[in-house]
Structure 1
């Protein structure tokens, strides 16, 4: 019997709550809507509270209830994980009620909403960049606030997320064997994040990219790339000594120096063959020139003979035949 009575009482309570919510949603009574909204807020029923607070801005505009409605609505959206909307509402509260004692709190939660809305590193990071800006703005506006103490840590965390995203994007080039692009991309990461904690890993991948690019290089660029890769390996070993990266750097440096010796021998052989080839070409060109000169001389002689013959023929045609002569007897 007691069980049925308990169930009946629970049903009555739930029905009354539902009825009250329905009445508040249909009511035009500001006080009643505000009362039910605040009750829902106190019970952490965020969606119900928000539905009622959304009906109140025009009803409470210009009254003492307006700040509470905006502030509670922003909090409800924050707890309901509507971070972008909550951030805008908290920011609007700061602007609309500059004399309210909760102004600093609202400014803090506005920045915190951007922080909470930051996505995983492999997703779009526009929220992360905005969060860093908003958190830094809070520190600038409230440098002595107790809330500022943990903001620097949040900014560092968000900054690392941006660093790691850039790192992973650059790493994709290395995985695809695009070593030149990988080197450039990682150099950009170091330029954009000079204080990055990922510097040793970045040095390591740049060094390996330069090594792969050098040993697999075309002949004309190989010496330059071997020198650059060896210099970079030496730099890594110097800047981060006594690490696994330094050990790798020393190993690669040794391999690169051996490769430079082999390539120097290859260069000597190539230059030798090049000189032999050039000599053959030069000799062939000389013979060809000699043949051309002989042909020109022969052609000149033939032309001179033809000209002489033409001159003789012309002279013969233009000279009259000699007249007949008779001898007379005396």
Structure 2
């Protein structure tokens, strides 16, 4: 019997609450709507509170209730995880009511909403970038605030998320064996995030990319790339002497030096064959030149002979035959 009475009382309470919520949603009475909205807020029924607060801005505009409506609405959105909307409302509160003692709190929660709204590193990071800006703005405006103590930690956390996203994007080139593109992408990460905690890993992958690029390089670029990879391995050993990256660098440096010796022998053989080929070409060219010269000399002699014959024939034509002569007796 007691069980049924309890259920009945619960049903009555729920029906009463529903009826009150419905009345408030249909009412034009500012005070009644605000009363029910605040009750829902106090009971942490964020969706109901927000539905009622959304009806109040025009009704409370210019009244003393306006700040509370905006402030509570912002908090309700924050707790309901509507971070983007809550951030805008908190910021609007801080701008619209600069003399309100809750201005600092609103500015802090505006920045915090961006922080909470930051997505996983593999998703869009526009909220993350906005959060860093808003958190830094809060520190600049309230450097002595108690709330500023943990903000640098939040900024570092968000910054690392951006670094890691850039790192993973660059890593995709390495996974696809696009070693030249991977090197450029990782160097851009180092340029964009000079204080990154991922530097050892970045160095390690850049070196491996340079190593693979050198070993699989075309002949004309191989020596240059082997030298570049070996120099980079030395750089890692010097900058990060006790790191795992340095161990890998030392191992690859040894392999690169061995490869350089092998390639030097290949170069020597190539140069030898190149010299032999050039000598053959030069000898063949000399013979061809000699042959051409002989042919030219023969042509010259034939032309001179033909010219001489032509001259003789011309002289014979132009000279008259000798006339008959008579002898006189003496």
TM-score bucket of the superposed structures, by smaller chain: over 0.9
- Aligned with 2:207: secondary structure? helix
Deviation at 1:239, TM superposition (A): 2.1
Deviation at 1:290, TM superposition (A): 0.7
- Aligned with 1:307: secondary structure? helix
Count residues in correspondence: 330
Deviations 1:61-118 (CA, angstroms, capped at 9, x unpaired): 1100000000011111111111111111100000000000100000000000100111
Q: TM-score, normalised by structure 2?
A: 0.96
Deviations 1:168-188 (CA, angstroms, capped at 9, x unpaired): 111111111111221221122
Deviation at 1:7, TM superposition (A): 2.5
Report the more deviating stretch, 203-212 or 242-251. 242-251
Deviations 1:255-296 (CA, angstroms, capped at 9, x unpaired): 111111112222221111111111111111111111111111
Pairwise CA RMSD = 1.5
Name 2:70's counterpart in structure 1: 70
Name 2:210's counterpart in structure 1: 210
Deviations 1:217-247 (CA, angstroms, capped at 9, x unpaired): 2222222211111121122122222333222
Deviation at 1:328, TM superposition (A): 5.9
Report the more deviating stretch, 264-273 or 48-57. 264-273
Deviation at 1:56, TM superposition (A): 0.7
- Aligned with 1:275: secondary structure? helix
Deviation at 1:321, TM superposition (A): 3.3
Report the more deviating stretch, 3-12 or 15-24. 3-12
**What 5-or-longer segments of structure 1 have no aligned partner?**
none
Deviation at 1:318, TM superposition (A): 2.4
CA distance in 2, matches of 1:319, 1:43: 143
Report the more deviating stretch, 151-160 or 317-326. 317-326
Report the more deviating stretch, 67-76 or 228-237. 228-237
CA distance in 2, matches of 1:319, 1:47: 133
Name 2:50's counterpart in structure 1: 50
CA distance in 1, matches of 2:262, 2:223: 11
- Aligned with 2:197: secondary structure? coil
Equivalence map 1:27-42=2 (5 Å): 27-42=27-42
CA distance in 2, matches of 1:4, 1:244: 70
Deviation at 1:326, TM superposition (A): 4.6
- Aligned with 1:300: secondary structure? helix
Report the more deviating stretch, 318-327 or 181-190. 318-327
Report the more deviating stretch, 90-99 or 191-200. 191-200
CA distance in 1, matches of 2:122, 2:302: 86
Deviations 1:99-150 (CA, angstroms, capped at 9, x unpaired): 0010000000000010011110011111111100100100111111111111
**What 5-or-longer segments of structure 2 have no aligned partner?**
none
- Aligned with 2:322: secondary structure? coil
CA distance in 1, matches of 2:319, 2:82: 123
Q: TM-score, normalised by structure 1?
A: 0.96
CA distance in 2, matches of 1:111, 1:103: 13
Deviations 1:190-219 (CA, angstroms, capped at 9, x unpaired): 222122111111111111111111122222
CA distance in 2, matches of 1:80, 1:325: 147
CA distance in 2, matches of 1:33, 1:224: 77
CA distance in 1, matches of 2:244, 2:109: 43
Name 1:301's counterpart in structure 2: 301
Report the more deviating stretch, 221-230 or 138-147. 221-230
Report the more deviating stretch, 240-249 or 137-146. 240-249
Report the more deviating stretch, 319-328 or 194-203. 319-328
Deviations 1:15-45 (CA, angstroms, capped at 9, x unpaired): 2211211111111111111111111111111
Deviation at 1:327, TM superposition (A): 4.7
Deviation at 1:47, TM superposition (A): 1.3
CA distance in 1, matches of 2:326, 2:31: 165
Report the more deviating stretch, 294-303 or 244-253. 244-253
